[in-house]
Amino acid sequence: MKNFEQNAKVQERARKVFPLGVNSNFRYWGEGITPYIKRGKGSHIWDVGGNEYIDYRMAFGPIILGHSYDEVDDVVAAEIRNGLLAAMTSELEIEVGEMMVEMCPGIDMVRFACSGTEATMHAIRIARAYTGRELIVKFEGNYHGFHDHTLWSTYAPVESYGNKRNPIPVAASSGILKSLGEKIITLPFNDFDGFERVMRSYGEQIAAVISEPCQGNCGAILPLPGFLELIRKKTEEYGIVFILDEVKTGFRIANGGAQEYYNLKPDMATYAKALGNGYPLAAIGGKAEIMQIIGHGVSQGGTYTNNKPGVAGAYATLKLLKEKNIIETINQRGGMLMDGLKKIFAEAGMSAVFNGYPGMFSFAFTEEKITNQREWSETNKDLYLLLMEKAIDLGVMPDYDPREPWFLCYSHSEEDINKTLDVFSQIVKTL
């Protein structure tokens, strides 16, 4: 049993300076159950109460190698002694750009940013500038960061989304300009007919279709065979920029992300998270023809877009990804975990549907295959929450939010996986 008293005390203190006591709404789990971090090492974290957990949140995905990963931290520590920021481009940046272009099949050029939010915001502007059009297509349940252009139909109760033949874009926050809703078309993920209908009706007015390869912010729902390919085909037909948001999948599901995994070449792609093993670097990548409009009447930049910790962190992380079998190891451990959990649920007579990839997966309690957020919302989320509450209490920490996938890193050992499976066997017996 974990002692949460100290976390609750820290929460009380934090609430006095931060709304909800956190610096991101997603980090607030509720009163008395919101954890506060002390430290992390490898696949483990310790909260302020001294409780230890096997971590499956990996900071929402960035930690691909492990917490406080020496081989990355040593490079960063050495590099920052030569200066953090200079408002000049360094050769280290160029090396990171070169590695990205080499690793990601659809990308000829990149520009750096500080967060996934910035990367998608810039990508949307570039796509609008390149096409001279304004409309954006996005899928319900996908999340592309906190800017106002795509913060629509992300987590609203799906009843508010309207009929799937004519979805209503729902702003995810007060304060978002209503008028931006006129520039966005939302659709259920994996809706082949709906997508074709929208293309027929609005194709010539659409600047970009933006999509995560899988619904990394809604139960890791996978694309049905042919769906990403349909997007590719139709966007080509109508001269629309296809932006693949690889902020979660990039450098995680394969060295070349979803582009390599699905053999897909979008027009642009966005990155952050695993790119730097937690050091803050993001990127917008794309075809040379599109990227080269940047600086020719199209703005992109930022004081911190080449921050040394981010650049050095990305340099060290990408080098390790290229040199070692990182993703294969993660896939092996993740596969072992998924298979073990499936077996535990099946033996207990619980119908769980799994989605995602071994290094980034989710499950939901339902009998049916889940292909979009509307279907996902019908699953038994109370049971999921109950399991997570018990797991966290026993030292295994996936995200409490059922939309958020389980993330694995290179430091997760077979021992971690076996311990996790023991915890779940134990929990399931008590239900």
> Whose Cβ is closer to ligand PLP: residue 120's or residue 186's?
120
Helix (H, G, I), strand (E, B) or coil at 344: helix
Contact flag: residue 408 with ligand PLP (CB under 6 A): no
Query: Which one of 55, 245, 399, 416 is the catalytic residue?
Result: 245
Residue 245 has phi, psi (to 5 degrees) of: -85, 100
Question: Could you tell me the smallest distance in angstroms from the CB atom of residue 116 to ligand PLP?
Answer: 2
Q: What is the torsion angle, in degrees rounded to the nearest 10, for the CA atoms of residue 372, residue 233, residue 296 and residue 204?
A: -90
> Whose Cβ is closer to ligand PLP: residue 258's or residue 396's?
258
Contact flag: residue 115 with ligand PLP (CB under 6 A): yes
> Whose Cβ is closer to ligand PLP: residue 42's or residue 250's?
250
Contact flag: residue 403 with ligand PLP (CB under 6 A): no
Q: Measured between alpha carbons, how far is 195 from 192 in angstroms, rounded to an integer?
A: 5
Measured in whole angstroms, the distance separating CA 230 from the mean position of its chain's CA atoms is 22
Contact flag: residue 356 with ligand PLP (CB under 6 A): no
| Nearest Cα to Cα of residue 293 among 250, 244, 241 | 241
User: Is 381 designated active site?
Assistant: no
The H or E element spanning position 7 is helix 5-17
Question: Could you tell me the smallest distance in angstroms from the CB atom of residue 142 to ligand PLP?
Answer: 7
The stretch near ligand PLP (CB under 6 A) out of 71-79, 116-124, 163-171, 257-265 is 116-124
Tokens 């065979």, residue located: 225
| Nearest Cα to Cα of residue 185 among 150, 157, 156 | 150
Q: Measured between alpha carbons, how far is 154 from 250 in angstroms, rounded to an integer?
A: 20
Q: Classify burial at 177, counting beta carbons within 10 Å of its beta carbon; exposed 0-12, middle 13-18, buried 19 or more.
A: exposed
User: Is 273 designated active site?
Assistant: yes
Helix (H, G, I), strand (E, B) or coil at 207: strand
Question: Could you tell me the smallest distance in angstroms from the CB atom of residue 50 to ligand PLP?
Answer: 29
Contact flag: residue 117 with ligand PLP (CB under 6 A): yes
The stretch near ligand PLP (CB under 6 A) out of 95-103, 140-148, 361-369, 393-401 is 140-148
Subset of 201-230 contacting ligand PLP (CB under 6 A): 212, 216-217
Question: Could you tell me the smallest distance in angstroms from the CB atom of residue 146 to ligand PLP?
Answer: 6
The stretch near ligand PLP (CB under 6 A) out of 86-94, 112-120, 164-172, 339-347 is 112-120
Which tokens sit at 7?
């976390």
String of b and e for 11-41 (b: at least 16 CB within 10 Å)?
beebeeeeebbbeeeebbbeeeebbbbeebe
Measured in whole angstroms, the distance separating CA 1 from the mean position of its chain's CA atoms is 31
Helices (H), 132-250: 192-202, 227-238
Find the binder of ligand PLP among 28, 29, 56, 60 (CB under 6 A): 60
Taking CB positions, which residue lies at the least distance from ligand PLP?
Answer: 116
Find the binder of ligand PLP among 130, 143, 262, 384 (CB under 6 A): 143
Helix (H, G, I), strand (E, B) or coil at 226: coil
> Whose Cβ is closer to ligand PLP: residue 79's or residue 245's?
245
Question: Could you tell me the smallest distance in angstroms from the CB atom of residue 325 to ligand PLP?
Answer: 25
User: Is 245 designated active site?
Assistant: yes
Question: Could you tell me the smallest distance in angstroms from the CB atom of residue 221 to ligand PLP?
Answer: 13
Subset of 241-300 contacting ligand PLP (CB under 6 A): 245, 247-248, 272
Active-site amino acid positions: 143, 245, 273
Q: Which residues bind ligand PLP (CB under 6 A)?
A: 60, 115-117, 120, 143-145, 212, 216-217, 245, 247-248, 272
